[in-house]
């Protein structure tokens, strides 16, 4: 394709994809099938790769991420991003209204009310209608430049239609409730600690170094403030934002007086739980911008705005029993079985008690009346006991000593809060749980196999480990209740298709504790095949970025079990993928050389630098010793590593020195 043809096609695709994205994310309309959208996006990606000078700053390909930030630049805000004064009291709102009336000296005024979303404040800057910079709130005076990460948020427009030379918009980035729940479910299946709440998870996601990983977090954003000339009221500014293509929550309302404000607060007390994002209150602003300026600011907050926060909702109900769940890793989770109670818009019947320490902290007794809250508005938890309703004859709840499923004595590792059932080979919930994890969509993706079928096959004695799936026959399946010729054929087809799943999916599917999808990808990027991973020692494992002591110990423990190694051999024989072909070796120029990488670099992320070393035959380790050949020192390198390297006379080289090694 010629240059002019490519430019024309890139512009056509950019316009078309922006149109489809806007319809899907802003109007909830799917104008074309996903497959067709993906084909158009791939065409644009290929054209931009072929003609990189034609790639536009507002290209829809920015949505998928892929940019690596070694460090986030600190940026001064044009106008301070102030926090608001908070209150939980309606009396305080009446006092606020009195102060506004006094400050405006008899002028008529009105308020503008918006829900306060529990997310991360962000400032978006546009020049000639194109997004050029996104900055976090930081300390209110300056924040971090996270432009590459913000571009992956599909509800943030890369291009708008304001026809202004410059403008700034502020809003709140958040993780939708459903996305947060899915993310925690994946972490639970990987044996990882759950994230505490969606707000902190959104904040951590925005500070990830790899924008492709941010894109996977499916963040969203509501905009609520416009910094630009040409409007007289906050209401007018909001309507401009809507007209220009920004995602504004439709929950706002203009109120003529403080009583209407209180009515608005009451109306959203329960309704807010139906929204896709967590909320913790209402923001009340004087609507007229001239009046805002007249009222002014205190040292920390505007005098023309205030935040009303809803009190955390809790409910008191009877604890009927404590039951215990066995996870696929053997972890025992105690669960409070409650008398059903309405809380935050839903009926709560069960709540997690986490572990034995929590039961002891609460001093739970049989038949107690307990207070229940929804942590982060999502996960029910028992917070305390109403001692005034406790029976004098009730007995303290004692944590179980044996597995509720197989009666094996439980173990509790030093330094860990949870109890575990060590009977990995014969405990039914563990066996079935591992197989359910193995067929998960992020693993082998055998969607025609469900929990009920797994139970039926287990009861028949035909399915005790993942490799048994690849020995199933149509005759066996037809013996199961509900299976006909077509359903049996579909299941066998799905099992056969799973053999093409990439190595990272297989490794995730093995269910090694703490090895989630992202950790599996990191391990494979480093070790390339299962044999190298099984042979890895502790030092080599913790040398991989994001692999800490706990993960390394878990991987070593898993592969030290002969039954696990035998299962891997069976899966190999069945035809599963245990080697990755991505990023093949480039040369042996660094053969027999060992490297430690420390600091921040200009041309590489640390992962890219390590991959380049390995792709050219070198080895990356985490600790400095006399045997080390090179310490590659970047900006902000830890001083202790430098001191140790100098003491042991290890050669310290720069990023440029390393690139020279590759040219020898």
Cα 663 to its chain centre, rounded Å, is 40
Find the angle CA(568)-CA(570)-CA(571) to the nearest 5 degrees. Answer: 65
Sequence-ordered list of residues with C-beta below 8 angstroms from that of 480, at least 6 positions apart, any chain: 453, 456, 457, 460
Beta strands in 68-211 (DSSP E): 74-76, 86-87, 111-117, 120-127, 130-136, 142-144, 166-174
Q: At what angle do helices 3-26 and 34-50 cross, to 10 degrees?
A: 140
What is 45-82 written as a DSSP string?
A: HHHHHH-GGG--TT-GGGGG--PBPSSPPEEE-SS---
Sort strands 379-385 and 594-598 into parallel, antiparallel or unpaired: unpaired
Q: Counting beta carbons within 10 angstroms of the beta carbon of residue 536, is it exposed (0 to 12), middle (13 to 18) or buried (19 or more)? A: buried
Helix (H) or strand (E) segment spanning residue 514: none
Give phi and psi for 375, each to the nearest 5: -65, 125
Active site residues: 116
Sequence-ordered list of residues with C-beta below 8 angstroms from that of 534, at least 6 positions apart, any chain: 559, 565, 568
What is the three-state SS of 158-186? CECCCCCCEEEEEEEEECCHHHHHHHHHH
Sequence-ordered list of residues with C-beta below 8 angstroms from that of 476, at least 6 positions apart, any chain: 457, 460, 462
CB-CB contact of 257 with 189 (8 Å)? no
Q: Counting beta carbons within 10 angstroms of the beta carbon of residue 22, is it exposed (0 to 12), middle (13 to 18) or buried (19 or more)? A: middle
Instruction: Tell which residue, 582, 633, 638, 639, has the closest CA to residue 611.
Output: 582
Radius of gyration of the chain, Cα coordinates, nearest whole angstrom: 29
**Partners of 595 in the beta sheet?**
620, 630
The Cβ of residue 615 has, within 10 Å, a number of other Cβ atoms equal to 15
Sequence-ordered list of residues with C-beta below 8 angstroms from that of 556, at least 6 positions apart, any chain: 536, 537, 538, 541
The Cβ of residue 330 has, within 10 Å, a number of other Cβ atoms equal to 23
Structure tokens at 376: 């982060």
CB-CB contact of 223 with 122 (8 Å)? no
- Please tell me whether residue 193 adopts helix, strand or coil conformation: coil
- Please tell me whether residue 69 adopts helix, strand or coil conformation: coil
Sequence-ordered list of residues with C-beta below 8 angstroms from that of 523, at least 6 positions apart, any chain: 507, 515, 533, 541, 544, 547, 555
């Amino acid at each position: 394709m010629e240059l002019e043809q490519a430019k024309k096609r890139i512009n056509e695709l950019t316009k078309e994809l922006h149109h489809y994205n806007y319809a899907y994310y802003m109007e909830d309309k799917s104008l074309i099938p996903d497959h067709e959208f993906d084909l158009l996006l791939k065409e644009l990606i290929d054209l931009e790769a072929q003609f990189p000078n034609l790639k536009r700053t507002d290209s829809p390909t920015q949505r998928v991420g892929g940019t690596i930030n070694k460090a986030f630049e600190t940026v001064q805000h044009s106008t301070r991003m102030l926090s608001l004064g908070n209150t939980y009291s309606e009396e305080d709102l009446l006092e606020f209204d009195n102060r506004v009336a006094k400050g405006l000296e008899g002028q008529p005024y009105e308020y503008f009310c918006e829900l306060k979303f529990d997310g991360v404040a962000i400032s978006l800057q546009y020049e000639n209608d194109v997004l050029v910079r996104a900055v976090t709130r930081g300390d209110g005076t300056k924040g971090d430049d996270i432009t590459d990460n913000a571009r992956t948020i599909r509800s943030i427009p890369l291009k708008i239609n304001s026809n202004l030379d410059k403008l700034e918009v502020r809003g709140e980035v958040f993780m939708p409730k459903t996305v947060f729940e899915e993310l925690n479910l994946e972490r639970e299946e990987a044996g990882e600690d759950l994230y505490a709440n969606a707000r902190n998870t959104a904040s951590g996601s925005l500070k990830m170094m790899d924008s492709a990983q941010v894109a996977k977090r499916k963040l969203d954003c509501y905009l609520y403030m416009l910094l630009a000339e040409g409007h007289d009221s906050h209401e007018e500014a909001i309507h401009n934002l809507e007209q220009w293509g920004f995602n504004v929550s439709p929950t706002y309302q203009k109120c003529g007086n403080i009583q209407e404000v209180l009515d608005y607060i009451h109306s959203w007390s329960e309704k807010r739980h139906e929204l896709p994002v967590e909320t913790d209150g209402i923001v009340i602003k004087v609507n007229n911008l001239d009046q805002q300026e007249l009222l002014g600011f205190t040292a920390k907050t505007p005098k023309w705005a205030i935040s009303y926060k809803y009190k955390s909702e809790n409910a008191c109900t009877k604890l009927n029993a404590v039951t215990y769940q066995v996870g696929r890793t053997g972890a025992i989770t105690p669960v409070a079985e409650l008398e059903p109670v309405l809380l935050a818009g839903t009926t709560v019947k069960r709540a997690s008690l986490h572990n034995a320490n929590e039961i002891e902290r609460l001093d739970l007794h049989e038949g107690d009346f307990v207070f229940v809250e929804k942590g982060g508005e999502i996960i029910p938890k028992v917070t305390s006991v109403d001692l005034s309703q406790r029976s004098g004859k009730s007995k303290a709840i004692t944590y179980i000593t044996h597995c509720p499923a197989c009666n094996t004595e439980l173990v509790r590792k030093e330094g860990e809060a949870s109890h575990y059932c060590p009977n990995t080979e014969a405990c039914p919930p563990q066996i079935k749980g591992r197989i359910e994890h193995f067929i998960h969509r992020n693993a082998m993706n055998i969607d025609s196999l469900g929990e009920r079928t797994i139970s039926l096959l287990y009861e028949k004695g035909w399915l005790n480990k993942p490799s048994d799936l690849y020995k199933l026959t149509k005759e066996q399946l037809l013996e199961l209740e509900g299976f006909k010729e077509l359903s049996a054929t579909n299941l066998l087809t799905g099992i056969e298709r799973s053999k093409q799943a990439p190595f990272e999916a297989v490794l995730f599917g093995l269910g090694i504790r703490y090895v989630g999808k992202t950790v599996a990808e990191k391990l494979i990027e480093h070790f390339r095949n299962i044999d190298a991973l099984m042979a890895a020692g502790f030092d080599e494992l913790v040398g991989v970025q994001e692999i800490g002591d706990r993960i390394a110990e878990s991987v070593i423990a898993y592969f030290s079990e002969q039954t696990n190694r035998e299962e891997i051999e069976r899966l190999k024989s069945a035809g599963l993928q245990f080697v990755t072909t991505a990023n093949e070796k480039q040369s042996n120029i660094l053969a027999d050389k060992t490297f430690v990488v420390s600091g921040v670099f200009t041309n590489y992320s640390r992962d890219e630098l390590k991959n380049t070393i390995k792709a050219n035959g070198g080895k990356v380790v985490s600790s400095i010793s006399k045997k080390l050949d090179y310490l590659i020192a970047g900006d902000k390198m830890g001083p202790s590593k430098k001191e140790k390297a100098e003491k042991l006379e290890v050669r310290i080289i720069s990023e440029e020195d390393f690139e020279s090694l590759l040219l020898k």
